[in-house]
């Protein structure tokens, strides 16, 4: 009998009671009120900064924008003479991320007269990680932050084998992609299970994060289904045999720019724009003849259905479908927003068909535009509501410094990946190949140079919040676009072109939603699984650290986790 019971216990399915959307929304509303009150309860600046940092990393800061703005404003205006490197670094990062300028001279207090950091700093891993993440918000000509970044990274790498979970995982993530370049949804997925081990852990904050995550996931699942139906109809109607199925990848991009519920309209429009742009790019790059490219370019420029007669038979349906979809975008806009679609309405083909290798400057000037940074920066604004002002559109369409820098991050990371993996025979010479030919250098030298240009582009992006403070919400969306490129092309891979492994080999733990916590009136927190099976549930001890991840699986999980969230919607 005992054996039978044991076998039954082993084979019994894990039970996760579900909550209705209405119940979840009600709980979220109550928890938001409770968490909102925590701002007033904070006793000092450090408690306030910790609260803001936690809310941001859990991905629920959008619910408390007014409180966070007020809190950071008061922190910035108040005197701050902390002797803690962690505290100074955290303040620096939080304020700069919000578009508030803080001088890098703040870190001079931790240096000796010779300009080197105090030796005692190297024994404080938490301070080193905070410094490292803060330093990645550097702009041009900030040598202090460049030195701080190298200093912190070097010591973290030397010490990382001695770190315990979950700090070890946080360091590993940061060394791959620093917090300043990490998409919020990526960090939230990792940080939600880690947060309970923090000294400042609050059950109410954690439950809010889990419920909010699950609610958004349900919305994204519905959208993913809608995008699939739209794409199936589109691809069937246009009948192009070279069409690549990039539903997940394109929804991923849109989702990383706009993951919030209030931007559902903007997210869906942008996802469709990504897919139409990808299809257009494939047509130009690998299928159409030079003459057909020129004719399609003319038709797109004129934007008139009557020009369909200029095109070959196989492109006519495609051209008409593109126009009809942009009209559908316009139909989703309010009357006072109709002008936006006007903003939303290529030289590489010439190089390919003439077997021409441009010089490095020519290649960069054209390829950073064809990388799509500008058109997508305009497209992401279309459904954004009141934030998308005419000023914002003019800033985006003008290919400003930040927009161009976003295109550079995309182009250079794509080119380094293509060089590593072997470019398609139909592709024109990349920036890496042009640099090698023009400067007669090795591939290693060229890759280092292109990598440094990516870093320079990020400095320009980091500068944008201070140069365009009135456009901060828009600048942050463009920055999200650059962050998504960092994830897709991490370690010179190309997760867009070769996405199979990226979507599949990331492990099962993140395929399921987070089981909610139940907050009881007497203050004890119980997992929903415990409530369903109160006698058989045996939670892991709070004192027991999480089981370390396999290093290979951990790498894939940390760099691909947001993509998995999208693939789990299929």
Q: Is 442 exposed, middle or buried (0-12, 13-18, 19+ CB in 10 A)?
A: exposed
pLDDT at position 450 is 94
Given a contact cutoff of 8 angstroms between Cβ atoms, the answer to whether 24 and 214 are in contact is yes
Q: Report the SS3 class of residue 565.
A: helix
**CA–CA–CA angle 193, 194, 200 (5° rounding):** 120
Token pair of 422 as six digits: 């072997």
Nearest to 564 by CA among 248, 143, 161: 248
Q: Where are the domains of the chain?
A: 21-207, 239-510
Q: Does 21-207 match 239-510 in CATH topology?
A: no
Helix (H, G, I), strand (E, B) or coil at 569: coil
pTM for this one? 0.81
- Residue corresponding to tokens 């190297």: 122
- For residue 117, give the DSSP letter: B
SS3 of 189-239: the string is: HHHHHHHCCCCCCCHHHHHHHHHHHHHHHHHHHHHHHHHHHHHHHHHHHHC
Number of helical H runs and strand E runs in the chain: 26, 2
Query: For residue 321, what pLDDT is reported?
Result: 87
Long-range contacts of 25-34 (CB under 8 A, 24+ apart): 25/215, 27/207, 27/211, 27/516, 28/208, 28/211, 28/212, 28/215, 31/204, 31/207, 31/208, 31/211, 32/63, 32/64, 32/208, 34/204
Q: Of how many residues is the chain composed?
A: 570
What CA–CA distances, in Å, run from 473 to 102, 290, 379, 456, 540? 19, 40, 15, 22, 41
Tell me which CATH code domain 21-207 carries.
1.50.10.130
CA torsion, ordered 235, 241, 247, 252, to nearest 10 deg: -130
The span from the CA of 555 to the CA of 101, in Å, is 34
* Structural fold of domain 239-510: Farnesyl Diphosphate Synthase (1.10.600)
Alpha helices (H) in 332-488, listed in sequence order: 340-344, 348-353, 360-370, 373-379, 390-397, 401-421, 431-439, 443-467, 472-488
Cis omega before residue 166 (within 30°)?
Answer: yes
- d(C-alpha 543, C-alpha 555), whole Å: 26
d(Cα 406, Cα 410) in Å, to the nearest integer? 6
**Pairwise CA distance, residues 176 & 522, whole Å:** 42
Residue 428 has a pLDDT of: 67
CA torsion, points 395, 397, 402, 403, in degrees to nearest 10? 160
Q: What is the mean pLDDT of each run of 10 residues along the chain (570 residues)?
A: 40 50 92 97 96 98 97 96 97 97 96 93 96 98 96 97 96 96 93 95 97 92 90 84 78 89 91 85 77 82 84 87 81 52 41 56 70 77 86 85 91 88 65 91 95 96 95 94 88 60 40 50 35 30 35 36 34
Three-state secondary structure readout of 4-28: HHHHHHHHCCCCCCCCCHHHHHHHH
Cβ(441)–Cβ(476) below 8 Å = no
List of residues 6+ apart from 394 with CB closer than 8 A: none
Count of beta carbons in the 10 Å neighbourhood of residue 331 = 9
């Amino acid at each position: 009998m005992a054996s039978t019971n044991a076998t039954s216990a082993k084979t019994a399915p894990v039970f996760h009671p579900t909550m209705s959307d209405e119940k979840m929304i009600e709980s979220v509303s109550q928890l938001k009120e409770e968490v909102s009150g925590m701002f007033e309860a904070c006793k000092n600046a450090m408690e306030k900064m910790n609260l803001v940092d936690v809310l941001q990393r859990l991905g629920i800061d959008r619910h408390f924008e007014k409180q966070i703005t007020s809190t950071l404003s008061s922190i910035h205006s108040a005197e701050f003479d902390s002797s803690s490197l962690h505290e100074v670094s955290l303040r620096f990062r939080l304020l700069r991320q919000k578009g508030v300028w803080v001088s890098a001279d703040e870190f001079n207090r931790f240096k000796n007269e010779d300009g080197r950091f105090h030796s005692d700093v190297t024994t404080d891993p938490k301070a080193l990680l905070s410094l490292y993440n803060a330093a990645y918000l550097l702009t041009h000509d900030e040598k202090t932050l460049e030195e701080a970044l190298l200093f912190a990274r070097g010591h973290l790498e030397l010490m990382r084998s001695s770190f315990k979970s979950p700090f070890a995982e946080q360091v590993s993530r940061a060394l791959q992609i620093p917090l300043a370049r990490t998409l919020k949804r990526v960090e939230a997925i990792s940080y939600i299970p880690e947060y309970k081990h923090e000294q400042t852990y609050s059950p109410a904050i954690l439950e809010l994060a889990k419920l909010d995550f699950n609610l958004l996931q349900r919305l994204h699942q519905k959208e993913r289904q809608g995008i699939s139906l739209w794409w199936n109809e589109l691809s069937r109607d246009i009948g192009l045999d070279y069409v690549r199925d990039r539903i997940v990848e394109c929804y991923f991009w849109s989702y990383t720019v706009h993951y919030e519920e209030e931007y559902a309209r903007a997210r869906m429009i942008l996802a469709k724009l990504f897919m139409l742009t990808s299809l257009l790019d494939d047509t130009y790059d690998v299928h159409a003849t030079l003459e057909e490219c020129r004719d399609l370019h003319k038709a797109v420029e004129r934007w008139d259905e009557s020009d369909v007669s200029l095109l070959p038979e196989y492109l006519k349906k495609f051209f008409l479908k593109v126009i009809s979809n942009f009209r559908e975008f316009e139909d989703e806009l309010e009357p006072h927003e109709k002008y936006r679609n006007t903003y939303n309405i290529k030289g590489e083909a010439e190089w390919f068909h003439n077997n021409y290798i441009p010089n490095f400057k020519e290649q960069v000037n054209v390829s950073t535009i064809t990388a799509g940074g500008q058109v997508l920066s305009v497209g992401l604004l279309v459904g954004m509501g009141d934030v998308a002002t005419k000023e914002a559109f003019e800033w985006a369409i003008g290919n400003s410094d930040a927009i161009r820098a976003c295109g550079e991050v995309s182009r250079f990371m794509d080119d380094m990946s293509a060089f590593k993996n072997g470019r398609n025979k139909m592709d024109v010479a990349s920036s890496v190949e042009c640099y090698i030919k023009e400067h007669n250098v090795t591939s290693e030298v060229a890759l280092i140079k292109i990598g440094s240009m990516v870093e320079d582009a990020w400095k320009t992006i980091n500068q944008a919040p201070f140069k365009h403070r009135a456009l901060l919400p828009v600048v942050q969306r463009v920055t999200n676009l650059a962050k998504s490129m960092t994830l897709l092309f991490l370690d010179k891979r190309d997760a867009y072109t070769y996405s199979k492994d990226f979507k599949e080999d990331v492990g099962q733990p993140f395929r399921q939603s987070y089981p909610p916590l139940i907050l009881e009136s007497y203050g004890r927190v119980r997992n929903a699984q415990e409530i369903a099976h109160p006698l058989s549930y045996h939670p892991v001890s709070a004192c027991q650290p999480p089981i370390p991840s396999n290093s290979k699986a951990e790498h894939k999980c940390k760099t691909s986790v947001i993509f998995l969230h999208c693939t789990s919607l299929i």
